[in-house]
Amino acid sequence: MRSCRSCNVRVLVAIVCGLLTGIVLGLGIWRMVIRINRGIFVPVSSTPVQFCRNGGTWQNGRCICTEEWKGLRCTIANFCENSTDGEFTFGIIPVGRYGPSLQTCEPGTLNAGSPKATRLCNVSEFGNIELQNVTKGSCNINLQTLEIQINNQTASAENISREAQVLTADASKLTAQNITSATTVVGQIFGKANNESQAKKTAIATVSQILDASEDVFQKAAEMDNSKSFSNLIKQMENYSYSQGDQTVVEPNIAIQSVTRDDDSGPSVLFSVQKGSSNSLVSGRILINKTANGLNPDGQTELQILLNTGENRKSCGFMVYQNHKLFQSKTFTATSDFSQKIISSKINESEQQRQNKVSVEMVFNPTYDKRELRLHSYACVYWNFLINDWDTQGCQKTGNTTEFLRCNCSHTTNFAVLMSFKKDYKYPKSLDILSNIGCALSIAGLALTILFQILTRKIRKTSVTWVLVSLCSSMLIFNLLFVFGIENSNKNLKTSDSDINAKPENNKIPESDTIETPNPSCTAIAALLHYFLLVTFTWNGLSATQLYFLLIRTMKPLPRHFIVFISLVGWGVPAIIVGVTIGSIYALSGNKRYWELDYRQEEICWLAVPKDNDYARSPLLWSFIIPVTIILITNITIFVIITVKVLWKNNQNLTSTKKVSSLKKVFSTLSIAVVFGVTWILAYAMLISNDDIRIVFSYIFCLFNTTQGLQIFILYTVRTKVFQSEASKILKSLSSSFDRTKPMPSITPLKLRVRMYNMLRSLPSLNERFRLLEPSGMTEETSLS
């Protein structure tokens, strides 16, 4: 009778567990079907797959190609093939660039490791791509040597310019000292007489090559530029821009247009730069109109500047810098990959009539990625050589549209639109029903398990299982934080374009090109999630260690103060990891205002993911993935050892009645797997690049791990005899209270037997004889669970 009752309880528990698992799994399948029906199972881009070829990227409705390709889909070759000329070999060279030779200077020379020669890939007047003659350099002359030679009046400016071009061909190897020396040399070349025209054209190519160096190198060079070589170079190039007749010089990172004017010319000159298939400047995109009446931008316009000179019909010049690296500002910080183009207009000051008012009108169509960035504000500025920084005096906004930004300035010099952006974060939707139900069941199960361990310790005649309570406590707190705090509250902030459509007089220079909305609470939630999930995995590992000592090393006692030691490890080591991680990121951030975004994501309050595959600096890797991987490998190893040597080991000495059933072995195996956190290995399957496979594993991972607390409750609480006994008492009390409302039935033979038993039990002489009839005391079943 008693075995039948226990069997019914087990069947009931199995049915309940099966129903709960079936419900959760069914919800997951239902959710997957809904996604398939809605067509969002795999995100579909608005652009056909692989529309842009050969490394091109789809941005703002068009393909942005690499320099080696052009065309609508980046399918037209725009480079010179591998070539050999004499002793020199060259790789692929994009059109308009000088390619460095594969042969480099030998060790021990001044330019050890630098290319020995360069070669220009250009387009002929008939439109054919062809290679120019090789330009050789000297391995015993460096940029510092050229600084000395340029001051020698007898030195050839053309030779020096050619050497400087060769030495700066590989921008990736340029140092801050190289940048400073190169700008000094090139600035001196532009300051020489006009008969050095070829030397100055080569110097323009050198400037374009320098602008390919990294932003960090330029910042260091600006700090050590005591001679103000940057400012001198900019001034000399301004003077050069209006002194070359009607010539146009275009390099990938800089374009110069000189304009001569006569009495037939209008009062204004319009200079335009059109969009292209790449981010480099090309000659076909530079346009000039000497009789323009005003700005006339269209969909292909990237920027325009209208120079109004009134009655002055003298020569003028325009320049475009592809980026702002020569203009290192102390008030405006550039942190994003977006490059701010600089445009310049200049009139020969010796010819300029002071009584005529000169002004410029500009329109900018910034080519930032609108999928990732959203324009927050902008300022119309010019480069003030007195303060060596951007200034707004004499410049103002003249309104803007959804596509163009307009400015007006009352003088001529180098102009720019300094823009600040807000990253258009794709905040995820709220947790779906599968995650909510799984977490809710886990929270309830963990809370009941903790209460059961604490409140029934006297009935079970054992102390609180400290390892299990610690594991459940950390997991419970993590689940609560995950459900109520994983979402960033910034997602509810409403965006506005009020700053963009600001009044013209509101022409304030932004502090940075990226605007972040601070959220310290999200950072705190991320740190707490980081800590408690590490604590959970640490207690998983400590559970495995404890079971290893109890089941494998049975002949040796636990180490002294074992509980104290594992408590310090379980709660202390994760705190050290989190503290060191946050402290290191804060220390390495320097003067960065929003350093916390190096620690957490903005989309959700969790650890930051690697940027540009920079895994070495990712906190997710060092402070989470590596520790968790070590713990999981250890736990799986111990799990296999315990499973093979203890759980599923057949002992031939036991009789058939004492052998453990297969069902009990399965439950014991599941119990250990859950506490060891073995199911977390499914997270590594979510790293698969295939979207179909990844989303299947995502649902499986969600099913097993969001319900981990429920699994612990079922395996470590529901299956114990104490819980079943207490649950049956509660059910009996509920049923008896219900039965009291019914009329008393007649006394059955069973109740008569119970009364007789109680009467006989009251007799002392018969007490010992009937002792065997009493039900045995309720004790806790000793098992691996």
Give dist(CA 598, CA 523) in Å, integer. Answer: 11
Alpha helices in 151-254 (DSSP H): 157-167, 176-190, 197-210, 215-223, 229-241
Quick check: 203 and 166 in contact, CB under 8 A? no
Q: What is the DSSP track for 265-299? A: S-SEEEEEEE--SSSS--GGGEEEETT--S----T
More confident residue, 459 or 742: 459
Query: What is the structure's pLDDT at 495?
Result: 52
Reduced to 3 states (helix: H, G, I; strand: E, B; else coil), residue 720 is coil
Query: What is the structure's pLDDT at 487?
Result: 85
Burial classification of residue 404, based on how many CB atoms lie within 10 Å of its CB (0-12 exposed, 13-18 middle, 19 or more buried):
middle
Per DSSP, what are the bridge partners of residue 120? 98
Burial classification of residue 505, based on how many CB atoms lie within 10 Å of its CB (0-12 exposed, 13-18 middle, 19 or more buried):
exposed
Query: What is the structure's pLDDT at 772?
Result: 32
Quick check: 714 and 445 in contact, CB under 8 A? yes
Specify the residue for token string 């399918």. 75
Return the H-helix or E-strand segment holding 423.
strand 414-423
Quick check: 343 and 360 in contact, CB under 8 A? no
Return the H-helix or E-strand segment holding 58.
strand 57-59
Give dist(CA 271, CA 599) in Å, integer. Answer: 45
Give dist(CA 479, CA 485) in Å, integer. Answer: 10
Specify the residue for token string 């020379």. 109
pLDDT digit string, tens, across residues 564-591:
889 999 999 999 999 999 999 888 877 6
Task: Tell me the two tokens of residue 174.
Answer: 């340029």
Quick check: 221 and 179 in contact, CB under 8 A? yes
- What's the rounded mean pLDDT across residues 122-132? 90
Range among 488-492, 623-627, 695-699 with highest mean pLDDT value:
623-627
Query: What is the structure's pLDDT at 373?
Result: 81
Give dist(CA 154, CA 151) in Å, integer. Answer: 9
Phi-psi region of 127 (alpha: psi -120 to 50; beta: other; left: phi over 0): left
Give dist(CA 370, CA 546) in Å, integer. Answer: 55
Range among 24-38, 52-66, 77-91, 506-520 with highest mean pLDDT value:
77-91
Specify the residue for token string 């098992």. 783
Give dist(CA 171, CA 208) in Å, integer. Answer: 10
pLDDT digit string, tens, across residues 17-48:
555 544 544 444 444 444 444 443 334 344 45
Query: What is the structure's pLDDT at 102?
Result: 94
Count of Cβ atoms closer than 10 Å to residue 88 Cβ: 18
- Percentage, residues of the chain above pLDDT 90: 30
pLDDT digit string, tens, across residues 233-251:
999 999 899 888 889 999 9
Task: Tell me the two tokens of residue 223.
Answer: 């700090």
pLDDT digit string, tens, across residues 363-395:
998 877 777 788 888 899 999 999 999 999 999
pLDDT at 608 over 60: yes
Report residue 207 CA to chain centroid gap.
Answer: 33
Indicate the range of 64-73, 399-408, 776-785 predicted with least confidence.
Answer: 776-785
Query: What is the structure's pLDDT at 511?
Result: 86
Query: What is the structure's pLDDT at 546?
Result: 84
Query: What is the structure's pLDDT at 652?
Result: 53
Alpha helices in 589-720 (DSSP H): 619-620, 626-642, 662-676, 682-685, 691-706, 708-713
This prediction has a pTM of 0.70
- What's the rounded mean pLDDT across residues 508-514? 86
Query: What is the structure's pLDDT at 506?
Result: 80
Q: Parallel, antiparallel, or unpaired for β 248-251 and 254-259?
A: antiparallel
pLDDT digit string, tens, across residues 257-284:
999 887 777 788 999 999 888 888 888 8
Give dist(CA 678, CA 446) in Å, integer. Answer: 18
Q: Parallel, antiparallel, or unpaired for β 514-515 and 414-423?
A: parallel
Nearest to 338 by CA among 514, 518, 589: 514
Query: What is the structure's pLDDT at 726?
Result: 77
pLDDT at 130 over 70: yes
pLDDT band at 183 (very low <50, low <70, confident <90, very high): very high
Give dist(CA 121, CA 95) in Å, integer. Answer: 5
pLDDT at 538 over 90: yes
pLDDT at 160 over 80: yes
pLDDT at 776 over 70: no
Per DSSP, what are the bridge partners of residue 414? 344
Indicate the range of 53-62, 467-476, 753-762 predicted with least confidence.
Answer: 753-762
Task: Tell me the two tokens of residue 619.
Answer: 């906190």
Count, in order, helices (H) and strands (E) of the chain: 20, 25
Quick check: 99 and 91 in contact, CB under 8 A? yes
Query: What is the structure's pLDDT at 204?
Result: 94
pLDDT digit string, tens, across residues 660-707:
566 777 767 777 777 788 878 777 776 666 667 767 777 777 777 777
Give dist(CA 694, CA 609) in Å, integer. Answer: 18
- What's the rounded mean pLDDT across residues 709-721? 81
What 8-state DSSP symbol labels residue 745?
P
More confident residue, 312 or 359: 359
pLDDT digit string, tens, across residues 285-295:
899 998 888 89
Give dist(CA 300, CA 121) in Å, integer. Answer: 27
Return the H-helix or E-strand segment holding 28.
helix 2-38
Q: CA angle 252-256-260, nearest 5°?
A: 155
Q: What share of the chain is helix, strand, coil (3-state, %, to 5)?
A: 45, 15, 40
pLDDT band at 778 (very low <50, low <70, confident <90, very high): very low
Angle in degrees, 0-180, between the axes of helices 662-676 and 626-642, rounded to the nearest 10: 160
Average pLDDT, the chain: 79
Report residue 23 CA to chain centroid gap.
Answer: 35
Query: What is the structure's pLDDT at 233?
Result: 93
Give dist(CA 596, CA 523) in Å, integer. Answer: 7
Task: Tell me the two tokens of residue 282.
Answer: 């090309």
Query: What is the structure's pLDDT at 570?
Result: 93
Query: What is the structure's pLDDT at 103?
Result: 93
Task: Tell me the two tokens of residue 330.
Answer: 């102390």
- What's the rounded mean pLDDT across residues 299-313? 85
pLDDT at 208 over 90: yes
Give dist(CA 253, CA 68) in Å, integer. Answer: 15
Give dist(CA 754, CA 760) in Å, integer. Answer: 10
pLDDT band at 657 (very low <50, low <70, confident <90, very high): very low
Query: What is the structure's pLDDT at 355?
Result: 46
